[in-house]
Structure formats: C-alpha cells, structure tokens
C-alpha cells in the first residue's frame, strides 16, 4: 500500500489544481496497466490525510473544488504572507513602477495618456498592474472611443503603506537644493558662432 500512497502523493503534489480521485485512478490504472479500485484510492488518500495532519508537517492534504491538493496549514499563514508580500515587491519592474507612478499622480488617466508620457506602448505593463490589483478601471473617458480610465486601488495603498494619495511625495520633495554638497555646477551652454 506504501507504493500506492507514494504515487498518489506525487500526483496530488504535482497537479496544478485540485486533482479528482477519478483522475488519480485513471493515471494509476494506465501506469500499472490494471484497474486500481476506487476503494483503495479513497483509503490511501485518507491515510495520507492522517499522516499530514500531524504537527510535524507544515502542510496537509485538503479536499477542495472536488479534488485534493497540498496546502499549508493556517498556523503558517503569517510567515507565508510576508514571503508573498516580499516577492510581490521584488516583481515590480522599473517600467511597472514608472507606469504605476504616472497613474498614481495623473489619475484618472487613459492608456494613451500614459503612453504619451512614457513614450512607449504600455499594454503589457498596464495588464500586469491590473493582474496584481495595484490599479483598477475607474470608468471611461468622454473622449472619442471612450477609452478606459485607470487609477490606483486599495491594494496600491496597502502595498506602499499609505492611507491616502496625499501621502505620496510631491515633485518638490525630489527637487535638489542649490547648496547641496556634491551637486554638479551649472555649466553655461556653449555659444554657437555664426560664420
């Protein structure tokens, strides 16, 4: 029975979504070239669930969506949440941050307005920001073609640790002081002599 449990564990672990007992049976029957009774599969899944219910494991086998999958136990939700948040922060590319900042400061803004500022096509970046739920569709513009208007979302606020858009730095916060040490001296533009 152990060999059956190992195969079932491997199938549950590798399945991209919850795997149904019928699909497990079909895989095992094809592999062993013999019918594997559903009763044996159900018993083995139950023993696997008992095994991973022990405190020694951080994950368990859960039945959801009509199938089985490995999920981490609720006790580890906080540490996983931190990891996902850190990974999400790292995944924002320079172009995504640039696009996001334009949306944050100019919202509500159309994609063509973003593209005019950036000078490049923003379809992919806007789609990724929508998928990450950092921006959302705020409506449609009254201009020709009624393009979508984009703005930041609640998740954007949480992501950057702010409660209001007024907390975003203003352009003057980025201005360089005239007397700053190490700032380049202003050079006079070379004059162009006429022949």
Domain edge (last residue) among 25, 40, 75: 75
The mean pLDDT value for 34-49 works out to 95
Handedness of CA 11, 15, 20, 23 (dihedral sign): negative
> Which helix (H) or strand (E) segment is 149 a member of?
strand 148-152
195 belongs to a structural domain: no
- pLDDT tens digits, one per residue of 107-127: 999 999 999 999 999 999 999
69 and 7 part of one domain: yes
129 class by beta-carbon count within 10 Å (0-12 exposed, 13-18 middle, 19+ buried): buried
- What's the mean pLDDT in 4-17? 94
- pLDDT tier, 188 (very low <50, low <70, confident <90, very high otherwise): very low
Tell me: do 51 and 121 sit in the same domain.
no
> 130-186: per-residue pLDDT in tens?
998 999 999 999 988 899 999 999 888 887 777 788 888 876 665 555 555 554 554
| CA Rg value for the chain | 28
81: in domain: no
The answer to whether residues 27 and 71 belong to one domain is yes
Per DSSP, 171 falls in state G
Count of structural domains within the chain: 2
Confidence of residue 3 (pLDDT cuts 50, 70, 90): confident
For residue 33, being part of any structural domain is answered with yes
pTM: 0.48
| Domain of residue 10, residue span | 2-75
- Residue ending a domain, among 50, 75, 100, is 75
In a domain, 34, yes or no: yes
Question: In sequence order, which residues have a C-beta less than 8 Å from that of residue 135 and are 6 or more positions away?
Answer: 100, 103, 126, 129, 150, 151, 152, 153, 156
Residue at a domain's end among 75, 101, 131: 75
The predicted-structure confidence for 88-98, as pLDDT tens digits, reads as follows 666 678 889 89
Instruction: Report the pLDDT value the prediction gives residue 174, as an integer from 0 to 100.
Output: 58
3-state secondary structure (DSSP) of residue 60: strand
pLDDT of 160 reads 77
In a domain, residue 83? The reply is no
What is the DSSP-derived secondary structure letter of residue 70? Answer: E
| Residue of 122, 125, 121 lying closest to 134 (CA atoms) | 125
CATH code of residue 145:
1.10.10.10
- 97 and 61 co-located in one domain: no
> What does residue 150 show for φ and ψ, rounded to 5 degrees?
-110, 145
Do 40 and 112 lie in one domain? The reply is no
Task: Quote the mean pLDDT of the chain.
Answer: 85
């Amino acid at each position: 029975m152990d060999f059956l449990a190992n195969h079932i564990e491997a199938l549950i672990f590798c399945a991209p979504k919850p795997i149904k007992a019928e699909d497990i049976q079909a895989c095992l029957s094809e592999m062993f070239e013999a019918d594997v009774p559903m009763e044996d599969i159900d018993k083995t899944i139950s023993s696997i669930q008992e095994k991973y219910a022990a405190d020694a494991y951080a994950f368990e086998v859960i039945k959801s969506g009509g199938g089985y999958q490995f999920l981490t136990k609720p006790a580890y939700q906080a540490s996983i949440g931190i990891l996902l948040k850190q990974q999400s922060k790292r995944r924002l590319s320079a172009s995504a941050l640039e696009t996001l900042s334009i949306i944050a400061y100019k919202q509500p803004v159309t994609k063509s307005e973003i593209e005019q500022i950036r000078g490049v096509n923003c379809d992919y970046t806007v789609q990724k920001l929508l998928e990450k739920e950092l921006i959302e569709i705020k409506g449609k513009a009254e201009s020709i073609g009624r393009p979508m208007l984009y703005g930041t979302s609640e998740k954007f606020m949480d992501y950057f640790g702010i409660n209001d858009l007024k907390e975003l730095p203003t352009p003057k916060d980025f201005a360089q002081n005239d007397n700053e040490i190490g700032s380049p001296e202003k050079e006079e533009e070379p004059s162009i002599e006429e022949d």
